[in-house]
Amino acid sequence: MTTQTSAHTVMQRCDILGGFSEEPDCLTRPFASRAMRQANEAVAGWMRAAGMTVQQDKLGNLIGRYEAHSIGTKTLLLGSHLDTVRNAGKYDGPLGVMVALACIERLHACQQRLPFAIEVLGFADEEGLRYQRAYLGSKAVTGTFDREMLGLIDAKGITMAEAIRAFGGDPDSLPSARWQPDELLGYCEVHIEQGPVLEALDLAVGVVSAIAGQNRISVCFTGEAGHTGTVPMALRRDALCAAAEFVLSVEALARSVPGLVATVGQMAVQPGVSNVIAAQVTLSLDVRHRDDTQREQACRQLEGRAHAIGLTRSVALNWQRLQGRRVVACAPQLSGLLAQAIQETAHPLHTLPSGAGHDAAILADLTEVAMLFVRCRGGISHHPAEAVSTEDVEVAITVLERFLHLLCEREGHP
């Protein structure tokens, strides 16, 4: 089995997974959906064929295990997420699971067992599309899942607990941390870069130094509905005008602070009728920076701005912080093995930070983490045009395979 053949298989499987969607004309695969069930079933089949035992945990994470040559050894965790954003690309998440699976497949093909077990994790929800909370899957694995989230409802009024049960999970016995830190060798995630750096440097892969911190906030402006034909402009308490002013304030602040990115991606307008003045607008706010102090300061500034806009327009404000995640540095030792694997497979080494969030940021609460980025065309992601080349996937497989070999050596088993 050549690495080229394995890379083609990875691409084919990402194509197949790209067909499992809740929407007919684009790729949207939310947590605990029918499409996720299809994806889990397909990946479980490939895992079993690669000599792995497979289980779906109480939240809906898919876990494939490839045993070591002897019992009682430590375990290395690999993988990424299988859920997507709306109108997604095919590689954000699934590529990492498929590359990890390809390495197991290649071990299985030559009946090779390592001195440690390997688990490939297909996380059930990293994007937070259905319940606006990211990292449900990895938080369940690390035992940091906040059970209060079980009461959250989705756009159809289904609670997270109901969704988990319908998916075959059991919210009442969500796994506490499945692992003790000393049972693990670490977690290594392969992921598309979702940025332009590797392409600009003409590099196939890179080692991630750190994962940017991010805050998710819900901002709600409440004004007063009224007839668009009869309420004088000066007497209006228009929630949508308040929201619009705030959105431009978000952009202006982000443009003025180096390294800050802040985005309003979602907006719900009530009653949302052309001849009624907007009574209430709820919008999402995503704030990120590589420095936690700067990120928190930006959130405070934007909250102050939102209050000022509300006061000026006699519109009420509800500011709700949904989630905050600090900057997570990848583990130097494990990342050093990844770097050595890149160099020993004759590829130039480049280390870069991640502006995107990843499950590795959560696994870092439990064990050492390392990430390998793969070049993606134009740096495009969270978009159907997301693309990687088979050649770069082959490099990723080669590097991950070398990483496993170096880990064997480090663990004293040449």
Closest CA to 287 of 296, 278, 276, 279: 296
* Partner interacting with residue 149 (select from Mn ion, ligand HGY, none; CB below 5-8 Å by kind): none
Task: Give the nearest distance from C-beta 88 to Mn ion in angstroms.
Answer: 8
For residue 87, give every residue at least 6 positions away whose Cβ sits within 8 Å of its Cβ, in sequence order, or none.
Answer: 23, 26, 27, 28, 383, 384
Q: Is 401 in the site for ligand HGY (CB under 6 A)?
A: no
List 119's β-bridge partners, or say none: 65, 77
Distances (CA, A) of 128 to 30, 323, 355, 392: 8, 11, 17, 28
Query: 131 or 221, CB closer to ligand HGY?
Result: 131
* Partner interacting with residue 357 (select from Mn ion, ligand HGY, none; CB below 5-8 Å by kind): ligand HGY
Contact string (CB under 6 A) for ligand HGY, positions 128-157, x = contact: ------x-----------------------
* Partner interacting with residue 359 (select from ligand HGY, Mn ion, none; CB below 5-8 Å by kind): none
Q: Is 359 in the site for Mn ion (CB under 5 A)?
A: no
Task: Give the nearest distance from C-beta 134 to ligand HGY in angstroms.
Answer: 5
Q: Which of residues 330-369 bind ligand HGY (CB under 6 A)?
A: 356-357
How many CB atoms are located within 10 Å of the residue 207 CB?
Answer: 22
Q: Is 105 in the site for ligand HGY (CB under 6 A)?
A: no
Q: Is 278 in the site for ligand HGY (CB under 6 A)?
A: no
Query: 60 or 93, CB closer to Mn ion?
Result: 93
Contact string (CB under 5 A) for Mn ion, positions 64-93, x = contact: ----------------------------xx
Query: 43 or 356, CB closer to ligand HGY?
Result: 356
Query: 49 or 385, CB closer to ligand HGY?
Result: 385
Q: Which of residues 92-121 bind Mn ion (CB under 5 A)?
A: 92-93
Q: Residue numbers of the site for Mn ion (CB under 5 A)? A: 92-93
Residue numbers at the binding site for ligand HGY (CB under 6 A): 126-127, 134, 356-357
